[in-house]
Structure 1
Amino acid sequence: MLTVLIGLFAALSFGAADFAGGMGTKRLHALAVTGVVAIVGLIVLVSVSLLSADQWSAQSLLWGGLSGLAGLGAIGLLYACLARGPMSVLSPTTAVLSALVPMTWGALTGEALSGFVYPALALALVAAVLVGFIPDERAVRPTPTALLMAVGSGLLIGLFYIFIDIAPADSGITPLVANRGIQTTLVVVLLLVLVSRKGFASLIKPDTQWVMSWKKLWTLVVIGGVLDATANILILTGFRLGDMTIVAVLTALYPAGTILLAAVVLRERIQPVQWVGLALALIASMLLAQ
């Protein structure tokens, strides 16, 4: 039961972080938003690690660093493939593969799950596809390149889970600190390159029907960084308390947090197929909690 709740809260936290980041990119360059989210997340993770007196080791830093590289590759490929479209196909592809990789790893390493769990996991994967589906009448078949990018992104997200899970159990969240340290460093370097070439003005988009104040905007982006770090801590905690497979599959439902917030805050309409996905996700969660 606890593992299921952790997986669901991690998914909602990731989804809410994505929503906050998406709102921020309406007025700021995506790289600027990513940089703030990364820096805030690093501050949160370092603070929690110091307060928890975590045990630092070469192994925890190694696996955390590898997870950071996998995460960077996943984000890069995800953004690249979504830019090519269609999102209605590519986004669910990435989400499902991000869950299938740790599921396969768990099976290969002897992770023991009850027989009834597998049908519930399959139902959760279907729910992830439907929740992440974005209907678009103009959608076309994805190009082979875009599809390969989506597959690569999903595989790398799965590797991120595996690397984090392999890290020593007594290392606390130090693997996440190493992960975020690498990501933050690269993003800051890219930001400096962008600013040196195009100036600070390149970080701000033209004001197009934007009604939120700058104070609220930065607050929202900072909250996104806190939520993203929280989601990572929840995932690591779930892996150590329960089964990696269950937590990873439930985390793949992260689009649910985004669409629910978009419906409440922006009054966006949730599509019928997404309602079905949310219902299946609820049923799958109830089955897994048994």
Structure 2
Amino acid sequence: MITTLLAAVAALGWGAADYCGARASRDVPAARVVFLSQVVSLPVVAVWLAATAGHGPEPAALVWGFGAGALGLLGLVLLYRTLAAEGIVLVAPVTAVTAAVVPLVVGLALQTAPGPLALCGVVCALVSVVLVSQAGRIRRATVATRTLLLALATGGALGLQLVFISHPGPDAGLWPLVGARAVSILCVAPGALRGRPKTGGAPVPWLPVALAGTLDTAGFAFYLFAMDEGLLSVVGPVVSLYPAVTVVLALILDGERVSPTQAFGLCLGAGALLMVAL
């Protein structure tokens, strides 16, 4: 029960962070939003470490964190490419479900399989991710193979990020997150600083930027806490429900409409959490 609750809180943090990041990106370039949000989150990471770390960093934990950060950035770059490609409506659910399936498969291969009810909940969570990610109707009967491969690669990178950052185990604490943050900040910094206008330009919306960084960090922290006791094959698909949070926030704060398919996906996601928790 506690594992599912922690995973759900992680999904809540990531979904809210995505919403705040999207709002901030309306005014300034997305690369700068990512860079600033992660820099702002560093004090939050330091507080988490001070409260939870019982020892100094282990090289192996940092290395796995470096790998997670690199995979997360790769997934982000590929995601931007898919957003510019044709067949976006198909890309979103393919990316989302692939990101959920990767930790499921790795967890089933390396760990004990969950119970029948929990496994059924995991399947429902995967279907929910697909339904919530739907943004409309596909206009074309076929989708380019390159676009589909980009979607699969994006989801694979994001799914492997979850595997890598949790691999060191509970003894590593949040040090893998430190490694991931270091890689992402160093890699994003050149593009973000190069794109900074010399004069004028829209001011940085610091509130959504700070919220995006803080909530994203909290999401990773609660994910690692959930992995301390839970199975990757269960926690991975549960945290992948975070797009549902983004949809709900857009509905409440922006007045956007949710399609019947997305509404059903939200309900199915709630049912999936209950099945996994029982």
The bucket for the TM-score relative to the shorter chain is: over 0.9
For 1:268, what is the secondary structure of its paired residue? coil
Other-structure match for 1:191: 192
What is aligned with 1:250? 238
Report the Cα offset of residue 136 of structure 1.
Answer: 4.3
Give the corresponding residue for 2:20. 20
Whole-Å separation in 1 of the counterparts to 2:225 and 2:264? 29
Q: Does residue 260 of structure 1 match 2:245?
A: no
TM superposition shift of 1:141? 4.2
Scaled by the length of structure 1, the TM-score of the pair is 0.89
The unaligned stretches of length 5 or more in structure 2 are: none
Q: 2:41 aligns to what SS in structure 1?
A: helix
- When residues 143 and 46 of structure 1 are mapped into structure 2, their CA distance, relative to the original with a 3 A threshold, is farther
Conserved? CA contact 2:170–2:227, under 8 Å: no
How has the CA–CA distance of structure 1 residues 85 and 42 changed in structure 2, closer, same or farther, with 3 Å as cutoff? farther
1:34-85 C-alpha deviation (Å, 9 max, x unpaired): 1111112233113321343343111111111111111111111111112214
Deviation at 1:258, TM superposition (A): 0.9
Aligned residue number for residue 286 of structure 1: 274
Q: 1:139 to 1:266 in 2, by over 3 A?
A: farther
In 2 relative to 1, CA 101–42 (structure 1 residues): closer, same or farther, beyond 3 Å? same
Q: Distance in 2 between matches of 1:86 and 1:137?
A: 7
Structure 1 residue aligned with 2:34: 34
Output aligned runs, 1:98-177, within 5 Å.
98-136=99-137, 138=139, 141-177=142-178
Structure 1 residues not aligned, in runs of 5+: 206-213
Q: Which amino acid aligns with 1:161?
A: L
Q: Which residue of 1 aligns with 2:261?
A: 273
Cα separation, 1, equivalents of 2:261 and 2:159: 26
SS where residue 84 of structure 1 aligns?
A: coil
- Show the counterpart of 1:231: 219
Which amino acid in 2 is paired with 1:98? A
Q: How many residues align?
A: 277
The answer (yes or no) to whether the contact 2:125–2:237 under 8 Å persists in 1 is yes
Cα distance, 1:151 vs. partner?
0.6
Q: CA RMSD in A?
A: 1.9
Cα contact 1:86–1:140 (8 A) shared by 2: no
In the alignment, is the contact (CA less than 8 A) between 1:59 and 1:168 conserved in 2?
A: no
Alpha-carbon distance between aligned partners in 2 of 1:141 and 1:38, rounded to the nearest angstrom = 38
What CA deviation, in whole Å up to 9, does each residue of 1:126-148 have, x standing for no partner? 11100111114656743222211
So what's the TM-score if we normalise by structure 2?
A: 0.93
Matched residues, percent identical? 30
State the Cα distance separating 1:5 from its structure 2 match. Answer: 1.5
